[in-house]
């Protein structure tokens, strides 16, 4: 009888462990730094293999990226078999200017709908600079279905303006409006470089709006790594670095853990001038 009990317990434990693994999504936000020749040994040409190996090592299911130029997008797809991309260049809605793309594992996720909108008073106006913003900004989204669980959810990825306070606040409100319209009360994840820390008005707009999005790092069951993202290729002392890249989730998502790797210590070894953030989620 005792043997039967332990056998049942083992089978039950294994079943629920497998079920939890099937439901877990590894999700990341990652500003890869645009391909700038002035970066010298930290230029994309010296980082692209390191960055793509890191994505593979972390086994990311979905990653929202920022500052991606078209040639970088091609490098990523060439080095990441099994991944597909959603997104357009912000300048012309095609290939010009920075993308804010979503990379995802094609084998696991089905894209039901997707698009890009401009963070401005006229979201469908390609290249339009919104409010008091300094340059064109976009958000790319996808309504997806997890083939393993059948769950439908929304992924949104963005890069907020680095100057306009009004632009950042209004961008946050616009994204919230889009989430409500596209998926309603279904799970949604917002990733991005928000160019502000958690003391900012834009952060408060996202986290205290009636349609609340929670900071994934704050609600994670476990947190590892450093507590900041931007380090400017190690030029900023760690105690002065800030977290300006975030992952926000709706309340129907559980965050089991959050990880921000510490940057390298020498040129030619950095992933980017930002540390990525990786979380494990259960919808």
Quote the pTM value.
0.93
Q: Rounded mean pLDDT of 216-240?
A: 98
pLDDT over 70 (residue 14) = no
What mean pLDDT do residues 63-68 have?
Answer: 99
Average pLDDT, the chain: 94
Position 268 scores a pLDDT of 85
Q: What is the pLDDT of residue 234?
A: 97
- Looking at 3.90.25.10, 3.60.10.10, 1.10.357.10, 3.30.365.10, the CATH number of the domain 25-282 comes to 3.60.10.10
Domain ranges for the chain, please list them: 25-282
What DSSP line would sit under the chain, residue for residue? -HHHHHHHHHHHHHHHHHHHHHHEEEEEEEE-----GGGGGGSHHHHHHHHHHHHHHTT-SEEEEESB-HHHHHHHHHH-TTEEEE---TTTSSSSS-B--EEEETTTEEEEEEEEEESSSSTTSTTPPPTT-SS--EEEEEEEEETTT--EEEEEEEE--SS-HHHHHHHHHHHHHHHHHHHTTS-EEEEEE-SS-TTSHHHHHHHHSSS--EEHHHH-S-EEE-S--B-TTTTS-GGG-B--EEEEE-TT-EEEEEEEPPP-SSTT--S-SB--EEEEEE-
pLDDT digits (tens, 9 = 90+) for 237-267: 999 999 999 999 999 999 999 999 999 998 8
pLDDT of residue 3: 56
* Percent over 70 (pLDDT), the chain: 92
Q: Which residue has the higher pLDDT, 12 or 31?
A: 31
Q: Is the model's pLDDT at 15 over the cut of 50?
A: no
């Amino acid at each position: 009888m005792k043997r039967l009990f332990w056998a049942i317990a083992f089978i039950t434990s294994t079943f629920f462990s497998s079920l939890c693994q099937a439901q877990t999504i590894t999700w990341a936000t990652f500003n890869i730094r645009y391909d700038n020749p002035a970066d010298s040994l930290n230029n994309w040409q010296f980082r692209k293999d390191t960055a793509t190996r890191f994505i593979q090592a972390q086994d990311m299911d979905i990653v929202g990226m920022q500052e991606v130029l078209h040639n970088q997008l091609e490098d990523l797809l060439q080095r990441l078999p099994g991944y597909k991309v959603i997104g357009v260049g912000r300048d012309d809605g095609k290939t010009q200017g920075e993308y804010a793309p979503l990379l995802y594992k094609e084998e696991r996720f089905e894209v039901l709908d997707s698009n890009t909108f401009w963070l401005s008073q006229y979201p469908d106006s390609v290249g339009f600079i919104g409010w008091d913003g300094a340059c064109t900004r976009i958000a790319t989204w996808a309504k997806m279905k997890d083939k393993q669980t059948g769950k439908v959810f929304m992924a949104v990825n963005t890069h907020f303006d680095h100057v306009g306070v009004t632009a950042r606040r209004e961008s946050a409100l616009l994204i919230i409006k889009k989430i409500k319209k596209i998926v309603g009360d279904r799970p949604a994840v917002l990733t991005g470089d928000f160019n502000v820390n958690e003391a900012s008005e834009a952060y408060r707009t996202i986290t205290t709006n009636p349609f609340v999005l929670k900071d994934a790092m704050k609600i994670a069951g476990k947190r590892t790594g450093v507590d900041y993202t931007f380090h400017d290729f190690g030029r900023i002392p760690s105690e002065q670095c800030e977290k300006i890249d975030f992952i926000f989730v709706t309340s129907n998502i559980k965050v089991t853990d959050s990880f921000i790797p510490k940057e390298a210590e020498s040129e030619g070894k950095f992933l980017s001038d930002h540390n990525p953030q990786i979380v494990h989620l259960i919808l």
